[in-house]
Amino acid sequence: MFFGRVKMTSSKDSRIPPNQHVTTKFPILHHGNVPYYADLAEWDLTVFGLVDNPQVFTYEQLMKLPQTKITTDIHCVTGWSRLDNMWTGISSLELLKRVKIKQDARYVIFHAEEGWTANLPLEDFLKETTLLAHSHNGEPLTPKHGFPIRAVVAHLYFWKSAKWLRKIEFTAKDQPGFWERNGYHNYGDPWKEQRLSWD
């Protein structure tokens, strides 16, 4: 005899975090303006803070690093999920080899254009699925989706995936980012529905 509550799940449902719905569109969501670069020479990526070798990468230099392809589902805190996104870019582990993170680093702060930031624990940055992506489904990112480079942190709500990335900072202390200071959860695990700071 079985008295438990039975929840029917298909294999597709088990990919969808609670209270998310799947969309095949690619919604655009951000605070502030979409940056425009007349020339990619106007863009670079600074990696600094608690690292042995702080570095400024040009777009060309990043493109010459070994490239990684990952396919991930993305989950926006506003309720939409988009399945099977193929991202191409430089894995966080590849970057790590070049800058050498110091022992006391615990957090990573993404700095985007216009001073927008997002924070995450170092171990989440160092997941194999965390990427500095330049392409989505084989096409370069469009300006609205983060051209030239965005972070992709697939296992957390999509607001951690900073578009228009300009700096990556390694710190000992946490520094809540833009949405984290404005009521969103500091960590943002979609499977635990960590949407707002009190969740």
Ligand X SMILES: Nc1nc2c(c(=O)[nH]1)N[C@H]1C(S)=C(S)[C@@H](COP(=O)(O)O)O[C@H]1N2
Residues lying near Mo ion in the complex (CB under 5 A) are found at: 29, 76-77, 159
Which CB, 98 or 143, lies closer to ligand X?
143
DSSP state of 5: P
Q: Kind and range of the H or E element at 36?
A: none
CB of 77 to Mo ion, least distance (A): 5
CB of 163 to ligand X, least distance (A): 4
Go through the chain and tell me how many residues it has: 199
Which CB, 170 or 179, lies closer to ligand X?
179
Under DSSP, is residue 13 helix (H, G, I), strand (E, B) or coil? helix
> At residue 4, what are phi and psi to the nearest 5 degrees?
-70, 165
CB of 162 to ligand X, least distance (A): 4
Instruction: Tokens 């989950």: give the residue.
Output: 75
Which residues are CB-neighbours of 100 under 8 A, at least 6 positions away? Answer: 51, 52, 53
Which CB, 84 or 172, lies closer to ligand X?
84
User: Which residues make up the interface to ligand X (CB under 6 A)?
Assistant: 26-31, 76, 112, 116, 145-146, 158-159, 161-164
Q: How far apart, in Å, do the first and last CA atoms of the chain sit?
A: 36
| Contact partner, 27, from ligand X, Mo ion, none, Cβ < 5-8 Å per class | ligand X
Which CB, 45 or 162, lies closer to Mo ion?
162
Which CB, 45 or 77, lies closer to Mo ion?
77
Q: Do the beta carbons of residue 77 and residue 188 sit within 8 Å?
A: yes
CB of 161 to Mo ion, least distance (A): 9
CB of 128 to ligand X, least distance (A): 21
Q: Kind and range of the H or E element at 93?
A: helix 92-99
| Contact partner, 31, from ligand X, Mo ion, none, Cβ < 5-8 Å per class | ligand X
